């Protein structure tokens, strides 16, 4: 019987013995068999997290001590980089070298929060009364449900787990059922590092089975979720009854604006990467290209030429530049998305179909795709495909570029390319998105906050605010010379 659930400090099988097979998106080979939790298992995990938090076993640790724990976890993750990267590569189908980069980013995330936790927390407030002490203190929020996506499984979980540990929260991790192996590896490291029993718990299984209690149970104080808008809206509704704190990153349809005065060669190269890295399975992917009309042909023709030459392949294909989509269902969704765009009037310039190479026959490979002549209200412009599909729109003025870039319900990220620094700054300021890259696209650092405007989510991860999501703020007023208030007459 498979025992890959971690509840109250113990590795165990699902209460009904159920298990789930994880298969590679590259060739459908079996890469792991893991436990599939029941509702009873979820309730046990919540109970363990609640009990550990209420006991004070971890909240009694100082910020410094918890930061040292997180630093030790970073060291262990670095030690096991290749082992964890292999698991992530197997689950996602991404190239092994990309998975190694991802684990390095995970290590950096833990080191960032370890350093942040070691800083002074809280402050004194001068209330103008000599005998009164007024302090603002930061305390652990409570029990958190941490729900991750399948595209960057360990990285997105790390953005939640590291600050939760530094803050002193207890938590339940729920990775995607498609990509569970790196979360299992992380939990083993958390255990090895000496985290108290019951603080960290791991539940595996589809959201339809295990998600409801993680969101609605009154013993859970915070839900942190990264994933799609529809699921995010469901979480908001389910969490409303108990007025939980929410931290949600719900994706985006990210504008990538290129002005005629930009470094065109650099802009084109970055546009290709922004749209087709990890086959577009990136929440911040720059798949909405918005290009000044006068350079449209030059930019788009070169992007099409390069897209057609992108080499697809599996985790260990040294010639591959990107990999497969995560599943057959997702491939079907991307294909339908492209066909709908064409039906609405977009012009297919390259791709638009599944790879027909024999070596890709068993995997979920979809060709890099460019749709031209797109208009703002098209489905393919307003909705994200989460696949390797770039849409192209044109503009004639700075104001029009801004209007197009903001014409979306999302607001996660965007890019601006221009040789005019003042213009680039104006556009960056005007775009309603959480991260804007100027003459670049895609880099991030753990010290900088990450999150979106509008329907791209609630709250922030990383930076200083990423820790703040897991803390309660308390004001303590102490009168060191107590006296009668004298407000009402003493009759």
Q: Is residue 82 part of a domain?
A: yes
What pLDDT, on a 0 to 100 scale, did the predictor assign at position 482? 96
389 shares a domain with 317 = yes
88 is annotated as an active-site residue: no
Q: What does the alpha-carbon distance between residue 452 and residue 450 come to, in Å, rounded to a whole number?
A: 7
CATH of the domain at 305: 3.40.309.10
What pLDDT, on a 0 to 100 scale, did the predictor assign at position 282? 97
The pTM assigned to this predicted structure is 0.96
For residue range 348-366, list pLDDT tens digits in order: 999 999 999 999 999 999 9
What pLDDT, on a 0 to 100 scale, did the predictor assign at position 296? 98
What pLDDT, on a 0 to 100 scale, did the predictor assign at position 98? 96
- Choose the catalytic residue: 88, 177, 249, 461: 249
CATH of the domain at 123: 3.40.605.10
- Choose the catalytic residue: 88, 98, 177, 283: 283
Structural domain span for residue 127: 3-249+455-474
What pLDDT, on a 0 to 100 scale, did the predictor assign at position 120? 82
Buried b (16+ CB within 10 A) or exposed e, 256-276: bbbbbebebeebbebbbbbbb
User: Which residues, including other chains, have CB under 8 Å from residue 165's CB and lie 6 or more apart?
Assistant: 66, 69, 70, 73, 113, 190, 195, 199, 200
Helix-strand-coil split of the chain, %, nearest 5: 40, 20, 40
Q: What is the 8-class DSSP label of residue 167?
A: H
Q: How far is CA 186 from CA 148, 252, 491, in A?
A: 13, 28, 67
224 shares a domain with 258 = no
193 shares a domain with 257 = no
413 shares a domain with 466 = no
21 is annotated as an active-site residue: no
For residue range 44-98, list pLDDT tens digits in order: 999 999 999 999 999 999 999 999 999 999 999 999 999 999 999 999 999 999 9
Sites in the chain below the pLDDT cut of 70:
none
């Amino acid at each position: 019987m498979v025992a890959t659930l971690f509840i109250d400090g113990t590795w165990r099988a699902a209460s009904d013995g159920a298990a789930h097979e994880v298969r590679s998106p590259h060739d459908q080979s079996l890469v792991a068999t893991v436990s599939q939790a029941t509702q009873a298992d979820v309730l046990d995990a919540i109970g363990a997290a609640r009990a550990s938090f209420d006991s004070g076993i971890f909240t009694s640790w100082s910020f410094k001590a918890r930061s040292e724990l997180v630093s030790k976890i970073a060291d262990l993750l670095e030690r096991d980089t290749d082992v964890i990267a292999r698991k992530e590569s197997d689950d996602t189908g991404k190239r092994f070298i990309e998975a190694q980069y991802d684990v390095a980013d995970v290590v950096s995330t833990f080191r960032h929060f370890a350093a942040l936790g070691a800083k002074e927390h809280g402050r004194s407030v001068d209330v103008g009364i000599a005998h009164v002490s007024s302090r603002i203190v930061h305390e652990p929020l409570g029990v958190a449900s941490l729900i991750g996506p399948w595209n960057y499984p360990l990285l997105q979980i790390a953005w939640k787990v590291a600050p939760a540990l530094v803050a002193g929260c207890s938590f339940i991790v729920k990775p995607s059922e498609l990509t569970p192996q790196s979360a299992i590896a992380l939990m083993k490291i958390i255990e090895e590092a000496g985290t108290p029993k019951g603080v960290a718990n791991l539940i595996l299984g589809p959201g339809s089975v295990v998600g409801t209690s993680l969101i609605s149970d009154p013993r859970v104080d915070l839900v942190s979720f990264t994933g799609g808008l529809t699921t995010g809206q469901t979480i908001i509704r389910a969490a409303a009854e108990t007025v939980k704190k929410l931290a949600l990153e719900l994706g985006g349809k990210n504008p990538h604006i290129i002005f005629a005065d930009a470094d065109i060669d650099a802009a084109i190269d970055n546009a290709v990467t922004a749209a087709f890295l990890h086959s577009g399975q990136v929440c911040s992917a720059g798949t909405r290209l918005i290009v000044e009309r006068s350079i449209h042909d030059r930019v788009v023709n070169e992007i099409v030429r390069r897209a057609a030459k992108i080499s697809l392949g599996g985790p260990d294909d040294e010639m591959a530049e990107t990999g497969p989509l995560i599943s057959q269902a997702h491939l079907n969704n991307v294909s339908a998305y492209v066909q709908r765009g064409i039906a609405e009037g977009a012009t297919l310039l390259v791709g638009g179909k599944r790879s027909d190479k024999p070596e890709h026959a068993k995997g979920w490979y979809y060709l890099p795709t460019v749709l031209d002549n797109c208009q703002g209200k098209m489905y393919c412009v307003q909705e994200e495909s989460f696949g390797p599909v770039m849409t192209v729109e044109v503009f004639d003025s700075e104001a029009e570029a801004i209007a197009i870039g903001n014409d979306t319900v999302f607001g996660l990220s965007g890019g601006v390319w221009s040789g005019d620094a003042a213009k680039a700054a104006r556009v960056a300021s005007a775009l309603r998105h959480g991260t804007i890259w100027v003459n670049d696209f895609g880099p991030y650092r753990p010290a900088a906050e990450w999150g979106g405007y509008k329907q791209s989510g609630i709250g922030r991860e990383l930076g200083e605010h990423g820790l703040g999501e897991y803390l309660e703020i308390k004001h303590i007023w102490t009168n060191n010379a107590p006296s009668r208030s004298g407000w009402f007459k003493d009759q």
